[in-house]
Amino acid sequence: MIQRIQTLYMLAAIMVILALYNWFPVVQDNAGAVIIDRNELIVLVPIISLIVIIIASIVKYKTRQTQFVLNRLAIIFNFFLLGVFVYRALKVSGETLVSEKGIGVFVPIISIVFLVLANRAIRRDENLVKSADRLR
């Protein structure tokens, strides 16, 4: 299970999501109003869902198709989270206290890359098993 490369990619995706939650800055505008906070339900629920889905995908290492589908679902949750972050960051008019408006909002892209790499490795394993079945 751990020795497979897709498991390592999925663990890296979990680490990226956990890093996003731990080091995510609270983005505020000039008036001090919070624009994005990591404890909002619209941010917290997708992060927890992502971690649960990816762990479920790691546990389902014997069924590659289920693993593939769960990773696709995690990618959809990542896009949703990215959309929330970008919408909230672009909704701000003018300059915020954090001048780059929170670079952490683009961290889900790194998780998406790791999940896509994991799906490619799963597909490669599936093709290898199919080719071995044809030889028999």
Give the integer Cα–Cα distance in Å for 43 and 12: 20
pLDDT confidence tier of residue 35, bands split at 50, 70 and 90: low
3-state secondary structure of 98: coil
Q: What does the pLDDT read at residue 3?
A: 77
Which tens digit of pLDDT belongs to each residue from 60-92? 988 989 999 999 999 999 999 999 888 877 776
* Among the listed residues 107, 96, 91, 81, the one whose alpha carbon sits nearest the alpha carbon of residue 18: 107
Q: Residue 100 belongs to what domain range? A: 5-135
3-state secondary structure of 28: strand
Which pTM was predicted? 0.84
Report the number of distinct structural domains present in the chain: 1
Q: What does the pLDDT read at residue 65?
A: 92
Residue 23 and residue 64 in contact, taking contact as beta carbons nearer than 8 Å: no
